[in-house]
Chains A and B, each alone.
Chain A
Amino acid sequence: MKEKVDVLIIGSGASGAAVAWSLAETRMRILCLEQGDWMKQSDYPTNGRDYEARVFSDYAISPNIRQRPSDYPINDDNSPIKVVNFNAVGGSTIMYTAHYPRLHPSDFRVRTLDGVADDWPVDYATLEPFFAENDRMMGVSGLAGDPAYPAHRPPMPPLPLGRSGAKIAQTMNTLGWHWWPSDTTIATTEYDGRAPCINLGHCTPACAQGAKASTDITYWPHAIRAGVELRTNCRVREIATGEDGMATGAVYYDRDGVEQFQPAEVVIMACNGVGTPRLLLNSSSGRFPDGLANSSGLVGRNLMFHPWAVVNGYVDEPMDGHRGPPLCLWSQEFYETDRSRGFVRGYNFQFNRTVGIGTEAVATEAVGLVPWGDGHHDAFRGLVGHRMSVGICTEDLPEEHNRVTLDPVLKDGHGIPAPRIDYSIGDNTNRMLDFAIDRGAEILAAAGARHVHTIRPVVYGGWHLLGTARMGNDPERSVVNSWGRSHDVRNLFIVDGSIFVTSGGVNPTSSIQALALYIADSIKQRLATLFD
């Protein structure tokens, strides 16, 4: 039997790292179990000439393709959008594009404002100090003054506009539509031991320079120095509970595959919107026959992805191509509800620089712009380095039939039942995609782009795993309360994206981490009465 800890955190990614760091000041004994290992920047793809090919093997975004020992399989056959993630110290902050918008104030009040879904039990104003604290810890680059947001001031200057950004900016100004340099977690100056960006141009599958913030190089060094223990290669099978219905700890497999039990006073789950419901459902018992913390029946339900589309075109002028972070600018011209558009809520445009030449060759061949044979060279050379790319991140409304369950057959390497995804894109989101794609095409037309084509949805676009253990004040309609504590199990907390009530229309990592810091602060404020 392991020595009992005060706080056991499961998962070391975006939220687990933030909550560990925040709680460290309490001097409680805190342990984090992580199913993956530490990553090495010297192993990251951009160290080698095969960097683009590794996106299809050991740095694939889908765990089903990547199949590292730290990965678990996911049956997502019944979903038009496939789950993407990364499993290591740092979680999916190792493999993300570092786009870092916050949710907007309206995102927390969708029922009140638009009559759909539910309001959150917290609001933007409550989270604002935690957004700022998280920006400082992760190291955010950006520019103050965006009229699409309440005032905030990122600690580092924005990424350069470059040719691509300037072209987009000129075009958006012509249309009179909003644009702004994206908040990113890519360091543009030296910051907290991180070197500034040198434009490797291949940010998503991990940054060899260490300029992109991932929690293994941001929160974790601070948390470990403050006394938190991080135990790697430990895959949790289930949360155990006692006769009083409280969590007693976790059963896990260590790096040698040996079953262990780690007792704890408090358990905090930070396993993302698929991993957390999977673990809760795998923790069923006589007292909790439908899974842990699931008296509402909502564990695993209301899965939201942010259905994504991309509109591409090619302009005459040379763009930045692979010579810079793919991130560039955002536009929130169409973020807030305007019912005349035929849908409620909205979406974020994410303008991207493009990709390496090999990836561009694959992409242009796949959509038929580049032929096989004699015409190949002329066609490809007329396109490479000229792409304008408009990404569309739509708000996904919660629907109970979109869910995570346990697959009856599929298991991971430790024999633990794997998650199964059943998901379809909702009508409101489909209408939003129709509208957004038309606006994306309008942007590219205004830029004089040729060969405009659309990818809808981006199949391997299930980055944002949200809603499967939602927060709320009503135990019959939510899994955790307004500060992340399970309604059913009073020493069990959830801090990852599964507690989102609605998805908003922006990348969620900033908001996930702000929520995790808010929950950690709530725990600290209530230490004497935490289980009341």
Chain B
Amino acid sequence: MNEQTLTEAEIADLRCLAGMIIPRSEKYGVPGADDDAIFADIVNSIGRDRNDVHAALATLRELAGGPFAALDAARRGEVAAKLRADGGAPVRVLTRIVLLCYYRDDRVMLSLGLEARAPFPKGHELEQGDWSLLDPVRARAPFWRPAS
């Protein structure tokens, strides 16, 4: 899916909603989900979920009584809360797309102390841990149940 398969009104509402789900944070120095790059990723990632996204945006518009993006901030907050509470599976799908795209953005990953990369091929380090913790379990008598 790309922007051509969403109407301009849907794009405006989705962008506004994404920024409400995850707003920009000065405290952590991260953009909101309505950031240009992140939002482009969101729109391009809808793919096979387009029916749910269309349904969620239709519900949003219905709750708003018109274009969601045109509402004032207070009313948008009320409508978004209602959507989250009552929107059902389509809203969960839309929210999942927003979250997954947001938390793979380089700036967001770096702000969380993570490397902005795919897991493969570098992988990660995992400490071996203290295997002496197993000593009391090793000392336990076998307790599997004989079959007869």
Contacts and interface: CB of A to CB of B under 8 A. Distances in A.
Contacts of B81: 372
Contact of A51 (B119, B126, B130, B138): B119
Contacts of B146: 105-106
Interface string B114-139: 10011111111111111101101110
A394 to B, nearest CB: 17
A97 to B, nearest CB: 16
Interface in A135-192: 143, 145, 147-150, 159-163, 165-166, 169-170, 173, 178-181
A48 interface: yes
A358 B104 contact: yes
Interface string B50-87: 00000000000000000000000000010011001000
B37 interface: no
A173 B120 contact: no
Contacts of A178: 137, 140, 143
Name the interface size band of chain A: 35 or more
A46 interface: yes
B12 interface: no
Interface residues of B, number: 58
Contacts of B92: 366
B117 A376 contact: no
Contacts of B25: 377
Contact of A374 (B23, B138, B147): B23
A150 B146 CA distance: 9
B140 A104 contact: no
Interface stretch (A10-18, A200-208, A252-260, A419-427): A200-208
**Taking each of B109, B112, B128, B130, which has the highest tally of chain A beta carbons within 10 Å of its own beta carbon?**
B128
B104 A52 contact: yes
A458 interface: no
Contacts of A148: 142-144
Contacts of A149: 144
A384 interface: yes
Contacts of B118: 46-49, 51
Contacts of A290: none
B133 A199 contact: no
B134 A169 contact: yes
A3 interface: no
Nearest to B95: A365
Interface stretch (A108-116, A404-412, A510-518): A108-116
A357 B114 contact: yes
B20 to A, nearest CB: 6
A161 B133 contact: yes
Name B's interface SS.
loop
Contact of B80 (A145, A170, A372): A372
A273 B60 CA distance: 42
B49 to A, nearest CB: 8
B99 A160 contact: no
A275 interface: no
B104 to A, nearest CB: 5
A362 B134 contact: no
Interface string A25-58: 0000000000000000000101111111100110
B133 to A, nearest CB: 4
Given A57-B48, A161-B130, A50 B104 contact: yes
A476 interface: no
B126 A200 contact: no
A197 B126 CA distance: 10
Nearest to A331: B137
A365 B84 CA distance: 10
A222 B112 CA distance: 45
Given A48-B118, A376-B21, A199 B143 contact: no
Nearest to A108: B147
Nearest to A114: B145
Given A336-B143, A373-B77, A320 B120 contact: no
Contacts of B20: 372-373
A116 to B, nearest CB: 14
Nearest 10 Cβ contacts at the A-B interface: A161-B129, A198-B123, A323-B124, A324-B126, A169-B133, A105-B147, A106-B145, A208-B120, A358-B103, A200-B119
Given A148-B143, A169-B133, 10 more contacts: A52-B104, A113-B147, A147-B137, A147-B141, A160-B128, A197-B123, A198-B123, A200-B123, A200-B124, A323-B126
